Amino acid sequence: MKINSDIGQNTKLDRNIQKPLRGILFFLFIFLVASCTTSLLIAATVNNPPVIGITGYANNQVSSDGSVPKFKTSMSYWKAIEKAGGIAIRLLPVSKEKIPIILDRLDGVLLCGGPDISPEKYGEKPHPSVNVLSKLRENFDFALAEEAIKRDMPVLGICLGSQMINVIKGGTLVQDIPSCVSRKVHHRPVVFDEIFGPMHEVKITRGTKIASFYNAKTIEVNSYHHQAVKKIGKGLAVAFRSTGDGVVEGFEDPSAFFLIGVQFHPELQQKPAGLHDKLFTEFIKACTDFGSK
């Protein structure tokens, strides 16, 4: 009887040990599952960079020299997106009703440079210097940008792209800086070096998101434009202004997820090296965050 009593006591002891042991094993299991899930999510983020749709030149008319219609985009935009960690996809014009299908597959949009917006878009008659966009591109780019902004998708506008954002937001444009504003700063020189200049100084507005990208009060930027923002669009805040003549060189929407326009060409500027890197990395970061929503 003593033996049976000892066995019973040992069985109770084993059960008392097993209960906390089961609890420990359960929590170890949960911890391992959570760790594996986190690792998979990190791997997915690293292996699946954001996809950025970029616009470009589009002309569906046969040129005067007899060349066929073409779609083209400077490789510099693609390189800037790739360097910052994104994947650049060239967007070709489609009808307005198909644009949501495209945007459903993107994490952000880069609106590139090009000719001039039709002044009718902002209620003005054209200046003699205006060289308007092809209707094919203008209609597509405007519809694309409007839908992307409506979705609060990250959008970066460069040169023409920034002007497009401003017009969509109800702003207007200086149609020709030399004849309408000043000739103090050569915003569009006759001889232009796409990589290294010419340059002019811009002042950065304190307290803006853009100011956090540059550790300076002023910077030198390249310049190749004859138009600029005149009346700033609703909800936009000026972030860059030319120190020589006060021309707006960049803006942002403080209330948007990421909506920034710059008049210069950060994708081309190489002097000083890396000056605009954070502009693109922050854009890609915003696209990554938007894509994971």
pLDDT in tens, the chain (293 residues): 444 555 455 555 455 555 555 655 555 555 454 445 444 444 444 578 999 999 998 766 655 555 666 677 889 999 999 999 999 999 999 999 999 999 999 999 999 999 999 999 999 999 999 999 999 999 999 999 999 999 999 999 999 999 999 999 999 999 988 887 766 666 666 555 555 567 889 999 999 999 999 989 999 998 887 899 999 999 999 999 999 888 999 999 999 999 999 999 999 988 888 999 999 999 999 999 998 87
* Residue of 112, 138, 159, 252 with catalytic role: 159
- Print burial letters for 40-67: b (CB count within 10 Å at least 16), e (below 16): eeeeeeeeebbbbbbbbbbbeeeeeeee
Supply the angle between the helices 135-150 and 160-168 in degrees, to the nearest 10.
60
Pairing of strands 237-242, 199-204: antiparallel
Assign 277 to helix, strand or coil: helix
* Residue of 265, 276, 282, 287 with catalytic role: 265
pLDDT of residue 196: 54
Rg of the chain's alpha carbons, rounded to an integer?
27
Using CA atoms, how far apart are residues 92 and 170, in angstroms rounded to an integer? Answer: 26
Assign 110 to helix, strand or coil: strand
Please report which helix (H) or strand (E) contains residue 157, including its range. strand 155-158
- Our answer to whether residue 97 is catalytic in this structure is no
Q: Are 74 and 159 in contact (CB under 8 A)?
A: no
Rounded (10°) CA dihedral 105, 138, 282, 78: 80
* Residue of 225, 267, 282, 287 with catalytic role: 267
Structure-token match 């219609």, residue found: 69
- Our answer to whether residue 267 is catalytic in this structure is yes
- CATH number (3.40.50.880, 3.30.1490.20, 3.30.70.1400, 3.10.20.600) of 49-291 reads 3.40.50.880
Six-digit token string for 277 = 């890197």
- Our answer to whether residue 127 is catalytic in this structure is no
Phi, psi of 250 (to 5 degrees): 180, 155
The model carries a pTM of 0.81
